Chain A
């Protein structure tokens, strides 16, 4: 018993304290060192923070360099596979473009109305800071879904700023270094985004579920089911002030949600394919109502308002002009369609009369076989009609000679 205990102690001691030929530190010292690192991580001392930032910067950039060859291979593969789908994509895009052009115009009109309404309720945000960044690292971790971008505090990036891919929400900045920042993706389980479901206007919180989906929490499901809308849109609600309201996130297919008993949001964007992202923060538009005492500020405010109004009017004019052009082109197209339709009708009418004639002839031939002997002129029936004459035809169609009263 004692000897086995001794063996265990010896083995443990050997594992912890024995240094190999080329090992400069024992395992125990390194384990203690990593615990020391972990403990230090809990304190926010300036020196520790600074060192941590430097280490992170070095690792992020070295990772980018190490990933270069694989990224080249990945990109070339993507390019080749893109070529295969090129033609299909082109035809799809072409048909979509026309639809989108019309939709875009409607959208612009609604946007202006929305801006004016938001101004009325003092909820209109304008972009304060905006920067575009390249995704340096997109590592799939089982713990945290995040990306590292190449903009940091040097470029005015601050923790909490919203990150977009085009107009869609991607995540928010959670860690800022001097030249790089980490973005927590909305697909991460730790990201809690206040959202609104449109058009029901229900509020809730969304957290990540997997790379392409999120899950809604604190939502009254019954209300959604009662409304009975097939596809629901999920946008940010703006509650909490981190994100402005109305940023599109994804959509919910209610049929799927009812099947799985989970309100799952399908994101509009694929976060594994991010290459460039937009970082921006928002502020409320200055109303400057308290500056009315200062005449100069008042004047400049008035000028600013006028400029804004002119801008809006110009845009409205542009929209109306575009609308007019679209209407004109639609008009021309409709006229052409009408012309084509008329030609088609004429063609069809001709065919119809031909068919009618044919059917009449067929009927005549059929009756001729049956009743020909009743109408055909012969030696003994000289009062009948000669074959081929109109009288003969009338007689056949009458299924015999016409009786005279």
Chain B
């Protein structure tokens, strides 16, 4: 499908999403910046975008492992992030199957519904089974931040992919 002659370019094209995913999860300086009213879930954006636009660019097993890493790093019950990430992949995969003409706004709305549903599942599980107390205001801000950031990052990812492939318009 894509004619890539340059090996380095292909390497960057292939492994950047994986590198970004694991770096964002394992790094201490992550994307939940120290702003009081702004935070976003970078992993959600990355996984949704690449599952939707480039099937198989991040393997499901890697996503599953990344979820486990995220749980350990954040002190959450192991498996909950994996479940969220994989459900996100499922929705992205479903959207890809039914979409004939890709449209950013439609993707964006689907992303909103998906993250709302995923956060609902996560919070329900944490509250019911682990007696976590959750600051809903922070979580709503996080959802809004993630949603807004999706637009920005989708442009950045698209630009990066084109740059790596040498197709900058």
Residue interface bits A176-217, CB-to-B below 8 A is 1, else 0: 000000101000011000000000000000010011000000
* B93 beta carbon closer than 8 Å to chain A: yes
Smallest CB separation, B124 vs chain A (Å): 12
| A146 B75 Cβ-Cβ under 8 A | yes
| B86 A31 Cβ-Cβ under 8 A | yes
Given known pairs A15-B94, A62-B26, the reply for A41 and B39 (CB within 8 Å) is: no
Interfacial residues, chain B to chain A (CB-CB below 8 A): 22-23, 26-30, 32-34, 36, 39, 41, 55-56, 59-61, 63-64, 67-69, 72-80, 82-83, 86-87, 89-91, 93-94, 97-98, 125-126, 129, 132-135, 138-139, 142
8 Å CB contacts to B: which residues of A1-32? 7, 10-12, 14-16, 18, 20-27, 30-31
Task: Pick 19 A–B contacts, CB within 8 A, sort by A.
Answer: A7-B98, A11-B97, A27-B60, A30-B60, A30-B64, A34-B64, A34-B79, A35-B79, A38-B125, A55-B72, A59-B69, A59-B73, A66-B22, A66-B27, A67-B26, A144-B75, A144-B132, A207-B133, A210-B36
Residue interface bits A148-182, CB-to-B below 8 A is 1, else 0: 00000000000000000000000000110000001
Residues of chain A within 8 A (CB-CB) of B77 are 38, 41
Distance in angstroms between the alpha carbons of A41 and B94 in the assembled complex: 30
Which B residue's beta carbon lies closest to that of A33? B64
Chain A interface category by residue count: 35 or more
Residue interface bits A23-53, CB-to-B below 8 A is 1, else 0: 1111100110111111011100000000010
| B79 A38 Cβ-Cβ under 8 A | yes
Distance in angstroms between the alpha carbons of A152 and B164 in the assembled complex: 45
Smallest CB separation, B168 vs chain A (Å): 28
Given known pairs A27-B60, A35-B79, the reply for A140 and B135 (CB within 8 Å) is: no
| B78 A140 Cβ-Cβ under 8 A | no
| B59 A31 Cβ-Cβ under 8 A | no
Q: Is the interface of B mostly helix, strand, loop or mixed?
A: helix
Residues of chain A within 8 A (CB-CB) of B27 are 63, 66-67, 70
Distance in angstroms between the alpha carbons of A33 and B80 in the assembled complex: 11
| A60 B72 Cβ-Cβ under 8 A | yes
Smallest CB separation, A298 vs chain B (Å): 49
Given known pairs A38-B125, A142-B39, A142-B142, the reply for A31 and B72 (CB within 8 Å) is: no
Distance in angstroms between the alpha carbons of A291 and B125 in the assembled complex: 53
Given known pairs A14-B93, A30-B60, A66-B26, the reply for A37 and B79 (CB within 8 Å) is: yes
Most buried by B among A11, A24, A26, A71: A11
| B78 A41 Cβ-Cβ under 8 A | yes
| B93 A27 Cβ-Cβ under 8 A | yes
Which B residue's beta carbon lies closest to that of A12? B94
Q: Which 7 A-B pairs have the closest CB atoms?
A: A37-B79, A15-B93, A34-B82, A38-B79, A141-B74, A20-B56, A67-B28
Residues of chain B within 8 A (CB-CB) of A31 are 83, 86-87, 90
| A140 B93 Cβ-Cβ under 8 A | no
Residues of chain B within 8 A (CB-CB) of A70 are 27-29
| A144 B93 Cβ-Cβ under 8 A | no
Which B residue's beta carbon lies closest to that of A212? B36
Distance in angstroms between the alpha carbons of A27 and B59 in the assembled complex: 10
Residues of chain A within 8 A (CB-CB) of B134 are 143, 189
Residues of chain B within 8 A (CB-CB) of A30 are 60-61, 63-64, 82, 86
| B32 A142 Cβ-Cβ under 8 A | yes
Residues of chain B within 8 A (CB-CB) of A207 are 133
* A98 beta carbon closer than 8 Å to chain B: no
| B132 A141 Cβ-Cβ under 8 A | no
